[in-house]
Chains A and B, each alone.
Chain A
Amino acid sequence: MNEIQLTGICSEMARLMIKYGAEIYRVEDTISRICHAYGHSEAAIYATPANFIITVKDKNSVPYTDSKSISGRDTNLDRVGKLNELSRFICSEKPEAEVIFHRIEQIKERKTYSPALIYISYFITGAAFTVFFGGGAMEALFGGVLGLVINFISVRLKLINASAFLNAVVCSAAISVIAVALSHTGLIKSFDKMIIGASMALVPGVALTNCMRDFISGDFISGIYTLTEAVLIAVGMAVGAGSAVAAVIKF
């Protein structure tokens, strides 16, 4: 394998891992292991949640570099696991470049759960968390419906490349308005439990976990980047729900 192929493979794998929600520490570790396996133990790797740069040198000290900018998150932990397996395979077998590209393409086309199943999962999440926070049967049912609303809006917002902050604001505002409206019809006693339960699906769990793990491994730039993302999403949820509830109660 020559240096151009190596940098190409490394940058593509890193882009996919960051996009699918791996922590930056893992990305840097994986790429440095791959470079090490092909005899480039002094590869310079720079990864943040927004971009990736790699430089390796050949025998005559000629540098080869490749960089990628990463935009848009698409959390898919199954593919992160498969990319992890692929990196183990590369390090132990040292295959040719074509084999690796083929495997990467296979991973990119791995099946995801169907949209209908995602809707069902949002319904179950909303309903189960409503009961978890102390809601009754009727509230659980409408909590599940609010979960469906969240998924409906997020899918639409993803089409226009909305930011995670906007997504959190719009989703939590919409479910708050619907929940308060439902409580006015008299079907349910209180709307708090439903809003809390349904909005658990919006909690930035991936960002929070990744930022902690990046801080531990000493990658502070990525840690701060992801922490900001997590805090912004949490603030967005508060802004959306707060403004909607306040507006509805005032009138």
Chain B
Amino acid sequence: MDIIHDMVIPCLCSFIACAALGVQFNIRFRHLIAASVGSLVSQFIFILLENNGFRDVACCFVSAAAVALFSEIMAKVNKAPVNMYLIIGIIPLVPGGLAYYSMLALVMGDKDTFLDRAVDAFAEAGAIAMGIFAVSSAVKIYKDIKRHYRKSLNKAYKHLSAGDGKSVKKF
């Protein structure tokens, strides 16, 4: 594996390109850097897995999940919407090349190539969506469980405080 050609250039390019994309969405500087680091993370994981013999669909799934996790953490740290990081982070994973070549094959009348490429492109897009889906659902379930327990704890405390007539500090 050629480190500079396979790893450094794509990572650097996706970092720069995503920072520029963030400017188009009007993201401010601090969030912009965080979001671009997200795209760097996704690209790094994608290349690492690809060079270890995983299929593209699996790579897309794992790196999209990694970006989603990264975005949830950054959103928690910076108290900003998750979208701000997620939108920028997944852009380098989008199968632009595959989509373009399948479209080109279609207009040239080469049906076999078209089907081959289009199936791959759809599978990768679906893998990205599923990666986001998996992590975001896990986070949502975690939040719902936390809220549920907080509510039942508060109820229990209210019950206790009603018993001895003293007010107990709420959670």
Contacts and interface: CB of A to CB of B under 8 A. Distances in A.
Interface in B1-36: 9-10, 13-14, 16-17, 19-21, 23-28, 31
Please classify the interface of chain B as helix (H, G, I), strand (E, B), loop, or mixed, using the class held by over half of its residues.
helix
A129 B27 CA distance: 20
Contacts of A196: 96-97, 100
A121 B24 contact: yes
Query: Chain A: interface secondary structure?
Result: helix
Contacts of A169: none
A77 B23 contact: no
Interface in B97-113: 97, 99-101, 103-104, 106-108
B90 interface: yes
Interface residues of B, number: 45
Contact of A212 (B80, B99, B132): B132
B49 interface: no
Contacts of A245: 104, 107
Query: Quick one: which of A128, A209, A215 has the most chain B CB within 10 A?
Result: A209
Indicate the member of B27, B86, B106, B107 with the most A CB atoms within 10 Å: B107
B57 interface: no
A140 to B, nearest CB: 9
Given A22-B81, A77-B27, A84-B80, A121 B106 contact: no
Interface of B: 9-10, 13-14, 16-17, 19-21, 23-28, 31, 79-84, 86-88, 90-92, 94, 96-97, 99-101, 103-104, 106-108, 129, 132-133, 136-137, 140
**4 nearest interchain CB pairs?**
A128-B17, A121-B23, A124-B20, A132-B13
23 contacts: A21-B25, A26-B81, A77-B25, A77-B26, A77-B27, A77-B81, A81-B31, A120-B20, A124-B17, A124-B20, A125-B24, A128-B13, A128-B17, A129-B96, A131-B13, A192-B104, A199-B100, A203-B96, A205-B91, A206-B87, A213-B132, A213-B136, A242-B107
